[in-house]
């Protein structure tokens, strides 16, 4: 497997709008997958938001509860993406088109290298047809479970694409 042959860690950053629902869930799903495969030492995994509203806060309690039902622990605290991320993360994965454009704009304004590969997480889907991961924040509890279903599919597809 390619991953074990790398001396340098593979760095992955998941990004949504506020970094309290979708991206911390994707981060936790990816970490859980790496733990199951015994590969955590080969990766640096984080999440961020394009907005600054929730910096320092835990993930939305509804998302944490929905994830815990699947034995996935969301432990991260919200932060905002910054220009250093483009030098530190090989893969930056956006949850939707708007955040993808915002990430691209920030990179074009501030990044000094082309190290980061910016993609949409839904480019790696295999089961779901959604082009974007919907934001469950203003909806009901079932929206959080649906987002987790979508992310489990896409995160697994992403992992397969790099392994």
**Helix, coil or strand: residue 153:** helix
Q: Which of 16, 60, 96, 153 is catalytic?
A: 16
Residue 16 falls in the annotated catalytic set: yes
Q: Which of 22, 62, 64, 125 is catalytic?
A: 22
Residue 22 falls in the annotated catalytic set: yes
Q: How far apart are CA 49 and CA 77, in angstroms?
A: 11
CB 48 within 8 A of CB 57: no
The two three-digit tokens of residue 55, written as one number = 């910096």
Residue 101 falls in the annotated catalytic set: no
What phi, psi does 121 have (nearest 5°)? -60, -35
User: Which residue's entry shows tokens 């929730």?
Assistant: 54
Q: Which of 46, 96, 135, 153 is catalytic?
A: 135
Strand partners, 12: 45, 91
CB 86 within 8 A of CB 107: yes
Q: Could you count the other beta carbons within 10 Å of the beta carbon of residue 140? A: 10
CB 14 within 8 A of CB 26: yes
Q: List, by residue number, the catalytic residues.
A: 16, 22, 135
């Amino acid at each position: 497997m390619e991953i074990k042959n790398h001396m340098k860690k593979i760095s992955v950053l998941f990004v949504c709008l506020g970094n309290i629902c979708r991206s911390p869930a994707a981060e936790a799903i990816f970490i859980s997958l790496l733990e199951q495969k015994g590969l955590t030492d080969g990766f640096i995994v984080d999440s961020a938001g394009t907005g600054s509203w929730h910096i320092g806060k835990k993930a939305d309690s509804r998302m944490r509860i929905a994830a815990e039902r699947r034995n996935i622990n969301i432990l991260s605290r919200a932060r905002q993406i910054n220009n250093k991320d483009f030098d530190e993360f090989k893969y930056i994965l956006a949850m939707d088109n708007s955040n993808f454009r915002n990430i691209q704009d920030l990179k074009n304004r501030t990044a000094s290298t082309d190290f980061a590969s910016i993609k949409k997480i839904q480019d790696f889907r295999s089961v779901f047809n959604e082009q974007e991961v919907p934001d469950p924040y203003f909806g009901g509890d079932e929206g959080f479970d649906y987002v987790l279903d979508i992310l489990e599919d896409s995160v697994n597809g992403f992992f397969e694409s790099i392994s």
